[in-house]
Amino acid sequence: MTEPDRPQIYLVTPPAFDPEVFAPRLAAVLDRVPVACLRLALATGDEDAILRAGDTLRAVAHARDVPIVIERHVLMVDRLGLDGVHLMDGARSVRAVRKDLGAEAIVGAWCHATRHDGISAGEAGADYVSFGPVGGALGDGKLAEADIFAWWSEMIELPVVAEGGLDADLIRALAPFTDFFALGEEVWRHDDPAAALVALTAALD
């Protein structure tokens, strides 16, 4: 039996930040820990704020050969020179967004804890699906349980992301069944986010 591939880290920004202050913190993390992708996940709908953040973080990420996607704001992908989008409505928008952005763009879909949405998103052209939260009491309180990842890893080839409320124990438990761990608040709440990410990824060793 072959050893499963080590899951990769998918880094998610805080929902609000000053780009000039955040950029060096992000750079320090990317310089210390291998990151497969960065997601710009701003809560604001303010166009100027999104443009400023996107410009700043794209430069930091691309300088380190890290692709950057944006959460929800499909129209900002081309405008900011980003690599793709992370959709938050399951499979609903995937087909149209794939058509708009083309085959080369990264299109991911958050499917909460719904296996059917994940399958539909994959069939519609998503490059990955994410399930979560896997821990904590976020949103409606419904968690993406370990069995959805175990089933997915056995039955579906499309990459899967675990996110939301992660800690070292959950990372350790889900590592055999997931391709990526999306980490955001788990890292940025610490004074030294790079050290926090190193400590969390130690659970993969």
Q: How confident is the model at residue 205 (pLDDT cuts 50, 70, 90)?
A: confident
Q: How many CA atoms lie within 13 A of 30 on its CB side?
A: 26
Question: Which CATH class name applies to 8-204?
Answer: alpha beta
| Residue the block writes with tokens 């990410």 | 197
pLDDT, tens digit, 9 for 90 and up, residues 33-42:
999 999 999 9
The full length of the chain comes to 205
pLDDT, tens digit, 9 for 90 and up, residues 82-105:
999 999 999 999 999 999 999 999
> Could you tell me the residue ranges of all domains in the chain?
8-204
Dihedral sign of CA atoms 111, 100, 36, 155 in order: positive
Strand residues in 44-171 grouped as ranges (E):
68-71, 84-87, 106-110, 128-131, 160-163
Q: In what helix (H) or strand (E) does residue 111 lie, and over which residues does it extend?
A: none
Q: How confident is the model at residue 5 (pLDDT cuts 50, 70, 90)?
A: confident
pLDDT, tens digit, 9 for 90 and up, residues 170-191:
999 999 999 999 999 999 999 9
Percent of the chain with pLDDT over 70: 96
pLDDT, tens digit, 9 for 90 and up, residues 101-137:
999 999 999 999 999 999 999 999 999 999 999 998 6
Distance CA 72, CA 81 (A): 15
